[in-house]
Amino acid sequence: MQTLQTTPHLPPAVAAETSAQDDAPQRHRSWVPVRSLTSRHRDRLREHLLALEESDRYLRFGYAASDAQIQHYADTLDFERDEVFGIFNRRVELIAMAHLAYAPAPQIEGQPPMAEFGVSVNRAARGRGLGARLFDHAILHARNRRIRKIFVYALSENTAMLKIARNAGAAIERAGSESEAWLTLPPNDLASQVGEIVETQAAEWDYHMKSNAKRLHDILGSCLLDRSNA
């Protein structure tokens, strides 16, 4: 089961071959910008995770993580080695995040490089495709870093997470209350590389637009307050 350590837990053997992502049914969702996060966002990540209810912490980490454990997880996230992605709303609040943890070398002998995916979406923002969007984005990034497999630990009761993985073409291995989803990725190509560049630029642009709009809104708000107090 997924832990709160930065280093992903790699099982001793890789599960059965998965169906290729290219064969997965294509779903049409509106495009949502996903931004790569850095250590500058640590506070916001912590805040987002601490806001998860106990049942969600259980689903996210495999046990009902305490505030201290979440704090530790956020404090030790390795932004150099791993990829952390976020989705921001119009008020530039972090409403969803995903962690793609790359296994440190050496990985499992004879197996292609792998990464572990973990995700959480604010309750108020669920059911809008954000979880699936973050998974798709993680797949693109992983392909371009020559990762050949993504795996997700999920409780078997976690229908939404397993659906996201299954929709992307992952094979699900169930062992009682726990499940593993394994997805074999196609190699990177020109389209995946250009796709990542375009996504990154568009997400940066979107973030700056939202930040500027928020700043303007805050300034106007304080001006109006000053006038009404005058």
Ligand X SMILES: CC(C)(COP(=O)(O)OP(=O)(O)OC[C@H]1O[C@@H](n2cnc3c(N)ncnc32)[C@H](O)[C@@H]1OP(=O)(O)O)[C@@H](O)C(=O)NCCC(=O)NCCS
Distance CA 142, CA 144 (A): 5
Q: Establish if 183 lies at the interface with ligand X (CB under 6 A).
A: no
47: Cα separation from own chain's centroid: 16
The residue to which tokens 């939202």 are assigned: 210
Among 18, 120, 179, 188, binds ligand X (CB under 6 A): 120
Helix orientation angle between 67-76 and 54-61, rounded to the nearest 10 degrees: 50
Q: Establish if 195 lies at the interface with ligand X (CB under 6 A).
A: no
Among 5, 66, 159, 177, binds ligand X (CB under 6 A): 159
Among 24, 129, 144, 195, binds ligand X (CB under 6 A): 129
Distance CA 98, CA 202 (A): 18
Among 37, 45, 138, 164, binds ligand X (CB under 6 A): 164
In the chain, the DSSP E strands lie at 35-36, 83-88, 94-102, 114-121, 149-155, 171-175, 178-184
Applying CB under 6 A, the span of 120-128, 138-146, 174-182, 209-217 interacting with ligand X comes to 120-128
Q: How far is the CB of 29 from ligand X (least distance, A)?
A: 8
Binding site for ligand X (CB under 6 A): 27, 56, 59-60, 118-121, 126-132, 154, 158-161, 163-164, 167
